[in-house]
Structures are given as C-alpha cells and as structure tokens.
A and B are shown apart, each in its own frame.
Chain A
Amino acid sequence: MPDTLVTRVAAATPAPLAARVRGLSDRTIKWLFIGPTMLLLLAINIFPLVWTIRLSFTNFRANRPNATVLGVGIDNYISVLTDPDVWQAMQATAHFLFWTISLQTLIGFGLAYLIDRKFRGHGFWTTLILIPMMLSPAVVGNFWAFLYQPQIGLFNYAVSFFTGIPASSFEMIGSVKLAPWSIIIVDTWMWTPYVMLICLAGLRSIPDYIYEAAEVDRASKWRQFWSITLPMVLPFIMLAVLFRGIENFKMFDMVNLLTSGGPGSTTELASITLKREAFEKWRTGYSSAFAIILFVAVFGLANIYVKALNAVKNR
C-alpha cells in the first residue's frame, strides 16, 4: 500500500480501535449475514411447522374455511397410528427405501470404482451417466409410465429382446408383484449417478502414498480393497445413503406420476397417502398429524444415523 499520511496513521492505530473504525464491526456483520437466512427459514419452515402442529390437534378442513373448528386433542394422532392404510403406506415406503438404497449404493460404488481406474475418456462417459439425475422426477415418472406400457412401450420389448421372455406375458406397473419393482428401477436409474459421484469423491480423496505403502508391504489388491479402499470410502458411502434415504422417504412426484400409488395401494408411499388426505380429501387436521409423525420419524432416524456417521468419521 502507498506510503501516505493516511496509511501511516492507519498502521499506527491500535487494533481494537481500528476494528471499530474500519467499517462495520464483526458482530454486526455476523448478525447481518446470518439474519436474513434465519428469517427466511423461520418464516417458510418453522412457522408453518408450528402451524402444522397446531392444526394437528383440530378438525380443521381447508376446503371449509367457514366451518367451526374444534380442538380434538390427540384424536388425529390416534387415528393415524391405528389406520391400516397408513401402515400399508409405511410398509411400501420401507420396501422402496431398502431396495433403492441397496441397489444404488452397490451400483454407484461399483461404477465409481471402475471410473477411478481412469480409463481413456472416463470424464466424457461420467458426464453422460450424470444426465438421468438432472431430469425432473415428475416428468420422469410420467415418461416411464409410457415406457412401461406392455403394448406400446419400449421396456417390455427391450426385456424380451435380451432375455427372450415374451413381451406381452408380463406387465410392470399393472401387476401387484412387479409394480413395487417398477418404481425401484426408475429411482435407481435416476439416482445411481448421484451415489456414484459421492463415492468417486471419496475414492479420489484417498492419497496414493497409502496404496504405495501397501504395495511395498506386498498386500494383495484384494486386501488393499478391504483394508484401505472400503474403510476410507465408508464415510462417503454413509453420507450418500443418508441423503438418498431422506429424499426417498419424502418421495412423491416420480411415483405419483408413474403409478398413482396403484395397483390398489401397493406403491402408495407415505407422501402419496399424505397428499390424498390433505389435498384431495381435505382432512387438514388429520393429515397434519400424519405429517408431524413422518417428520418425527425421519428426524429421529437421521439423528441416530448422523451420530453413527460422525463416529465412523472420527475413528
């Protein structure tokens, strides 16, 4: 900086005084920077959450704003927890969660491992693999319904081309047995790249010298994988599982457009049931209780999981 009177004076000013003189203080900046974010979150996330809790204790229906609203205590909660339809939805959600996470983790990690071998052109192919996850889940669900049509859709014909099973002998979204798999396949198609990216980041973060040391110790590639690669990527894999788990617990658009929750209710996930109760039957109080229960469930599970994740990170 130029050596003028101003700068010499500035340099000579003691630090605390200088801090105050030089523009806004750190404290002000701190609250200025955090304030708007907290305000937005309070307005759009917290306030509605509190409102939902309040609604869950009433019999309010949003399509009858003029009807008298009665408090009903915990009746709504009891209704939700004893409703067999709700438990059916939770079961469907659990099945969906388990299989999508398992498949996506396996395939995603596998892909990441292969890409990490750094074959020629891997950057290009990686970018191509990413494309499915950039589509809108709702549009994807809608389009896969078209692909799954046994008469006019591509899926059955492709399967019969590769395996010889006749194309009109089975149907994906119509059969009670296969419909849950149809949604699992589409979700895996969409989100495996996401898991792959995370695992790839994990694999890339393992420094070469660890492997070199292992080579010097003449550890086999197999041993290297189990004792170096996997443990070091594990926190990343767990992170991917956490994010996919939270997202798929809330899954609504893709499945709703693919199967509408059918046939019957075999693919009716928790969010779809919630939407029906809240925005089609307009049972606002009841669905608020359901929403709170879902939130508490996810929150609790995520809490436990993050503690486990931190334990793995810090070992």
Chain B
Amino acid sequence: MIGITTAHSVVEPSARTRWVAGVIVVLYAVLTLVPLVWIILTSVKSPPDSISYPPKVIFSPTVEGYCNLFTTRSRQTEEYLKSLPPPTSNCDQIARDRSMVVAGPSNYIPRFTNSLIIAFGSTALSVGLGVMAAYAFSRFKVPLKDDLLFFILSTRMMPPIAVAIPIYLMYRELGLSDTRLGMILLYSAVNVSLAVWLLKGFIDEIPREYEEAAMVDGYTRLQAFRKVVLPQATTGIVATAIFCLIFAWNEYAFAVLLTSGEAQTAPPFIPIIIGEGGQDWPAVAAGTTLFLIPILVFTVLLRRHLLRGITFGAVRK
C-alpha cells in the first residue's frame, strides 16, 4: 500500500460516486415533485386558466381558488347585483365579477376540523393502547403470544370495503353512524395493530435491566414503565404516531361510507368540490394544498424518527 494516502475510511464512496449519486437523486426528487408543484400552482389559477388547453405555465395568480374553497356562491341576475352594497372583501369582489354572490361559508372548515379531531384522537388512542400492549407482550409471558401477534397483524389484511359492510350495519344499530366517536374508534382499531407491532420492536430493544433496576430501587412496575421505559421509547412512539396519523389523516374508504354531514373528514370532501359546471380545480387544488400542510409540518419536524420507525427492529439481528 505504498504511496496510497487515504484520509478517509476505505469504505466511503469516492467524491465522484457521491456526485453522480447526488445528481440522480436530485433529478428524481425534482421530477417527483413536479405534480405537487403543479397542484400548488393550480390553486392560484383562475378556473378558466386551470382548464385552458394547452395548459398554462404562465398566468396571473389569484386567490379565487381559495375563495371558492371556503365559500359557497350563487349566481344572481344583473339587477340584483346592482342593488347590493359594494363588495366587502376580495372574495366578494371576485364573485361579483363572475355575476355571483357569496352565499355563506363552505363545508371545508368543518371537514378539516373533523379531520383534525378524528386523526389526532385516533392516533392518541391507538398509540396509547399500543404502547401498553406492546410493553406487556415484550416483558410478560402471554399465552399464545406469537399467534396473538400474528392475529393482530392479520386484522390489517381485510380490504376496508369488506370490513365496512358489517361495521356499517353495526354502527347503524348502535347510532354510531356519522359520529366522530365512531370514526375515532374505527381508526384506532385499524391502527392499533400497526402500533403494537412497531412499539413491541422498539420496546424489545430497551434492555430489561433498566426497569428491573428501578424496581429494585423501589419503583412499582407501573412507575418503572412510566419513568424508565417510556422516555427511552420516545423515538419509537413518535415514529409510530407519525404512521398512525398519516393513515387516519388520509383515510377515504371508511370515511366516505360511514360519514356524511356531521363527521365527514376532508378526503371525501375535496374531490367533490364543484364549481359552476365542472370540478372547480383551483378550489380542489387549494383544498389539497392546505390539507397537506399539517402532515408535512409534522413529518418534517420529526423526520429523524421516521427512519427508525419503519423497520421496528423486526428485522434486526
């Protein structure tokens, strides 16, 4: 090895390799983001611009999409429009220009709120139940443990439509149809299987010695769980919470079948935003963009935990 001076480990890729890898990945990232950028652009186009043929890349932006998302409007006769006081807001002005009048708020905010309540509620419930069950499976002798765990995993194998049939009938009888509680319970049940599996993997990695030492020092099992195990499992809990949240936030099939006026979330609502004759693409795009933001923020802030989460130690040595 005379004459070779390596200032770095021999397994590190060369600078050239890294550059090539970087270029390819950046290209992929840009390509994959183009549809998303197009969505955001569409949200600030006017409805005629959004359906222009061929599609417009240069256009004058407007907030009409967002206005249409948050309001309902009705078309009026010219005489009626002239008899109204001057428009009170930008959205009102835009509507008037199209011979329409703002008739009231749309259902977007209530749907968005439902999404927040149901998604965060069910995440809290499933992660809470999941961490407890995972701890028990990890630390205690549970009869038929492996079978129970596989059974828990298999609950995720039914197509949601299939499960929806009896749930629909059951909820109809119990009066849980179209209620937020019903949806929270449903999503928690679907997510808890994932939560148990993920968290068991994480908790398995935490050496028992820590809590046993704590218990020798006088902590009860519960206190040891709370004060020793949970802090160590924070990464795992956060990762699990992200996955549960993404599922509950974006879920559509159950939402469209089991909710309507009261508890409907945003995903069934956004694709059916209709403007005057035709899907109101700027409003749909606006709804999509706004709906993406909470999840995006949540995930970017906690992205380090994501990586740890997906393999949940099940495949580690």
Q: Please list the residues of chain A having a beta carbon within 8 angstroms of any beta carbon in chain B.
A: 1, 7, 10, 22-24, 26, 29-30, 32-34, 36-38, 40-41, 43-49, 51-52, 55, 62, 111, 114-115, 117-122, 125, 127-139, 141-144, 146-147, 151-154, 157-158, 167, 189, 192, 194, 197-198, 200-202, 204-205, 208, 211-212, 215, 235-236, 239, 246, 249-250, 252-253, 257, 270-271, 274-275, 278-279, 284, 287-288, 290-292, 294-295, 298-299, 302, 306, 313
Q: Is there contact, CB below 8 Å, between B196 and A37?
A: yes
Interface residues of B (CB under 8 A from A): 9-13, 17-19, 21-22, 24-26, 28-29, 32-36, 38-39, 42, 50-55, 129-130, 132-133, 135-137, 140, 142, 150, 152, 154-170, 185-186, 188-190, 192-193, 196, 215, 217-223, 225, 246, 249-253, 256-257, 266-268, 270-271, 279, 281, 284-285, 287-288, 291-292, 295-296, 299-300, 303, 306-308, 310-311, 314-316
Question: In the bound complex, do residue B22 and residue A135 qualify as a contact, i.e. CB atoms below 8 Å apart?
Answer: no
Decide if A313 touches B267 in the complex (CB within 8 Å). Answer: no
A132 with B310: CB separation less than 8 A: no
Question: What are some 21 contacts across the A-B interface (CB < 8 A)?
Answer: A22-B215, A22-B219, A22-B220, A29-B136, A34-B142, A41-B155, A45-B158, A45-B189, A49-B163, A115-B21, A122-B22, A134-B250, A137-B252, A139-B291, A141-B271, A146-B42, A146-B279, A151-B53, A204-B307, A239-B314, A298-B157
Q: Which of A127, A139, A200, A313 contacts B271 (CB 8 A)?
A: A139
Per the bound structure, the CA–CA distance linking A137 and B140 in Å amounts to 39
Other than A47-B166, A51-B169, A133-B246, give 10 A-B pairs with Cβ distance below 8 A.
A44-B189, A119-B21, A128-B33, A135-B250, A136-B251, A139-B267, A142-B270, A143-B285, A198-B311, A270-B159
Q: Do most interface residues of chain B lie in helix, strand or loop, or is the interface mixed?
A: helix
The residue of chain B having its C-beta at the shortest distance from the C-beta of A113 within the complex is: B21
Known interface pairs A139-B291, A252-B253. Does A200 touch B307 (Cβ–Cβ under 8 Å)?
Answer: yes
Known contacts being A139-B271, A239-B314, A274-B159, is A299 close to B154, with CB within 8 Å?
yes
Cross-interface CB contact of B136 among A34, A114, A135, cutoff 8 Å: A34
Interface centre among B129, B159, B161, B267 (most CB of A within 10 A): B161
- Contacting pair B299 A114 (CB below 8 A): no
Contact B310 A189 (CB under 8 A): no
CA distance A43 to B193 in the complex (A): 14
CB distance from B174 to the nearest CB of A (A): 10
Q: When chains A and B are docked, how far (Å) is the Cα of A131 from the Cα of B12?
A: 29
| Chain B residues with CB under 8 A of A212 | 9-11
Write the nearest CB–CB distance from B248 to chain A, whole angstroms: 11
List residues of chain A with CB within 8 A of the CB of B159.
249-250, 252, 270-271, 274, 291, 294-295
